[in-house]
Amino acid sequence: MVRLPQNETKKLLAIHGWSGVLLGLLLYAVICTGVAAVFEDEIKDWSSALPTRTEAEFPLGLDAAMRRLASETDAYFLHDLSIWPAGGGRLNLLFHVHETDARGRPIERGVEYEVDGNTMRTVARREGVLDDIGGERRSSALADFLVDLHVRLHLPNPYGLFLTGVLGLVMMIAAVTGFLVHRHLIKELFTLRRRRDQLLTARDVHVVAGAWNLPFAFILAFTGSFFSFASAFALPAMAMVAFGGDQAKMFETLIGKAVPEDARAATPADLDAVLRDVRGRAGEEPYFISFEHYGRADGVITLFMEPRQGELTPITYLYSGANGAFLQDKPLLGLAPSFGGQVYALIGPLHFGNFAGPLSKTVWFALGFAGAYVTLTGMLLWTQRRAEQRAWRRMGAVVHWVGYGLPLALLACPYGYFIALASGADAISAQAVAFLGTAALALIVVLLLRRHDAIRRAALFAGAAAMLAMPLVRLAAGGLGWPAALRAGIAVVPAVDLALLFAGLVCLVLVRRGFARPQSAALPDADLPETA
């Protein structure tokens, strides 16, 4: 129990409420998309799976493909090379150089090849500035849409990152003040008064879910605001103070320079041999490969590995890019272990929940879902208590629209994506149209229904229908069937389909309960503003 003077408690309660409601809607959008983004890789695989899959993410033959693509690329871009799985069994190979834009900010420009991991045949070629290239990736477009909404709300950099950074700070304040104002925190973890009035029950549900979720909300807010602010302003500002504005020099210091500068030309090392060696050393597959100074004597191949079993922090392996010799293993930052490097290495696993495979991801998904629930019920409670004021009734309508409309709009994205794929239309535009169209439709439905329980039931029913029909739409659009997926060892396709079917059935059960016991709705009926 936290004891504070009454005056301070009142202030904290006011801060807790206002921090929640002021930016709560945007925060809710960030949390909802973050919940889905936990399964970013799985969504990529599910939405665009190739019919067969090699055993390794970086299969044998990658070296030959790398050399072939390098020979097809303008020599200007053959400075650095990044290679990573593109989803569905494809790989992205990005040859790029580092430039500065008109305002002096560092940018990356290059040529990106998307190759089929089975045949190493080029599926797509994209050229330009990295930010623009990212917007053209069709195979991973569905997951990218969610991630971009989560990371920067689809706003241009650095404004979107700055906004999500502020939202992270707001969430931290809500978590800290929530901890301080709930004087009987331990008791409240287990208090749910079901037989009293509905507002009290709703408040109890919010408090119970919020109290259990407090440590997790704090961790997510802290790590998320770090990611946003680091890119938006902290790193450039730090470079200004410590390196006279030279960001390249700062990154070189942070990452560590393993090989002295040597610009002489050298035949690139055999990437397949390097991959064979790193698998032997680490016992697992890398998730990202960086080839710095491609075709130079000081070339370095860095292989980024997931954390070893039982460990939280990832490790990287360095090889010579000229002869393929193993150089050293090292932390993500710096050439030697350090306190700062350790702290930094913990941030990613704590934010993404990817430190123990699907299990930790599922836990992170569930906790994130609870966070979205707490945010939504918090805003509903806040507006409900002030429903006698016209402005708050209008705000209540907006909360209902975003609260129930956003998940539906997100569920509409795969429909736009799959239908566009089947019809040969632009999948990236189609999913955006589906998102915005569903959001507009949700607003109309909220204004027509006007009552909380009716809006909730309609949203649950629409969500159930969307999730139950989605596997069929995916199949109809030419997606991989279950037998073929299982034969090829692509378990993620039936797994995501089954998860959608299960979630759809749960929504249907909730709809049925809502009809049978309308008084048991999460919040009491709230009259929303009259439609004009």
Partner 1 sequence: MLAGPLSFVTAALIMLGSTVWLPSGRAQIDNLVLPIVLFPLIWTALFLYALLARRLTRAYAVVGVLGGVNAALVAARLWA
The order of strands in the sheet holding 315-320 is 122-129, 106-116, 90-100, 80-87, 286-292, 300-305, 315-320, 326-330
**Neighbouring-strand partners of residue 302:** 290, 318
Report the nearest approach of partner 1 to the CB of residue 355 (Å).
Answer: 18
Residues of this chain, 145-174, that bind partner 1 according to CB under 8 A: 168-169, 172-173
Q: Which is nearer to partner 1, 81 or 350 (CB)?
A: 350
* DSSP string over 318-386: EEETTT--EEEEE-SSSSS--HHHHHHHHHHHHHH--TTHHHHHHHHHHHHHHHHHHHHHHHHHHHHHT
**Window contacting partner 1 (CB under 8 A); options: 144-152, 239-247, 281-289, 297-305:** 239-247
Report the nearest approach of partner 1 to the CB of residue 151 (Å).
Answer: 16
225 near partner 1, rule: CB under 8 A: yes
Kindly tell me which residue out of 56, 124, 185, 235 binds partner 1, with binding defined by CB under 8 A: 235
**Window contacting partner 1 (CB under 8 A); options: 139-147, 237-245, 419-427, 504-512:** 237-245
Using CB under 8 A, count the residues that bind partner 1.
41
Report the nearest approach of partner 1 to the CB of residue 224 (Å).
Answer: 9
User: How far, in Å, CA of 316 to CA of 511, rounded?
Assistant: 49
Structure tokens at 442: 């949700």
Q: Assess contact for 404 and 446: CB atoms under 8 A.
A: yes
Burial class (CB in 10 A: 0-12, 13-18, 19+), 130: middle
**Window contacting partner 1 (CB under 8 A); options: 5-13, 59-67, 403-411, 517-525:** 5-13
104 near partner 1, rule: CB under 8 A: no
Report the nearest approach of partner 1 to the CB of residue 300 (Å).
Answer: 17
Q: Which is nearer to partner 1, 254 or 419 (CB)?
A: 254
Q: Which of 414, 403, 406, 401 is nearest to 468 (CA)?
A: 414
Q: Which is nearer to partner 1, 52 or 231 (CB)?
A: 231
Residues of this chain, 396-455, that bind partner 1 according to CB under 8 A: none
Residues of this chain, 328-367, that bind partner 1 according to CB under 8 A: 331, 333-341, 343-344, 347
Residue corresponding to tokens 């879910």: 209
Q: Which is nearer to partner 1, 11 or 386 (CB)?
A: 11
**What character string, x for contact with partner 1 (CB under 8 A) and - otherwise, covers 7-46?**
-x--xx--x-------------------------------
**Window contacting partner 1 (CB under 8 A); options: 103-111, 184-192, 229-237, 495-503:** 229-237
Pair type for strands 286-292 and 300-305: antiparallel
Report the nearest approach of partner 1 to the CB of residue 27 (Å).
Answer: 14
Residue corresponding to tokens 């410590």: 242
| Cβ-based neighbours of 29, under 8 Å, separated by 6 or more | 149, 153, 402, 406
Q: Which is nearer to partner 1, 293 or 330 (CB)?
A: 330
> Using omega within 30 degrees of 0 as the cis cutoff, is the peptide bond preceding 286 cis?
no
Pair type for strands 315-320 and 300-305: antiparallel
Kindly tell me which residue out of 127, 158, 212, 226 binds partner 1, with binding defined by CB under 8 A: 226
Say which DSSP state 231 is in. Answer: I
222 near partner 1, rule: CB under 8 A: yes
Residues of this chain, 177-206, that bind partner 1 according to CB under 8 A: 177
Pair type for strands 286-292 and 326-330: unpaired
Report the nearest approach of partner 1 to the CB of residue 259 (Å).
Answer: 17
Residues of this chain, 247-306, that bind partner 1 according to CB under 8 A: 250, 253-254, 256
Burial class (CB in 10 A: 0-12, 13-18, 19+), 343: exposed
Report the nearest approach of partner 1 to the CB of residue 328 (Å).
Answer: 13
Q: Which of 442, 435, 366 is nearest to 404 (CA)?
A: 442
| Cα three-residue angle 140-146-150, rounded to 5 degrees | 135
Q: Which is nearer to partner 1, 242 or 509 (CB)?
A: 242
Strands (E), 197-310: 286-292, 300-305
Q: Which residues bind partner 1 (CB under 8 A)?
A: 8, 11-12, 15, 168-169, 172-173, 176-177, 221-222, 225-226, 229-230, 233-235, 237-238, 240-242, 250, 253-254, 256, 331, 333-341, 343-344, 347
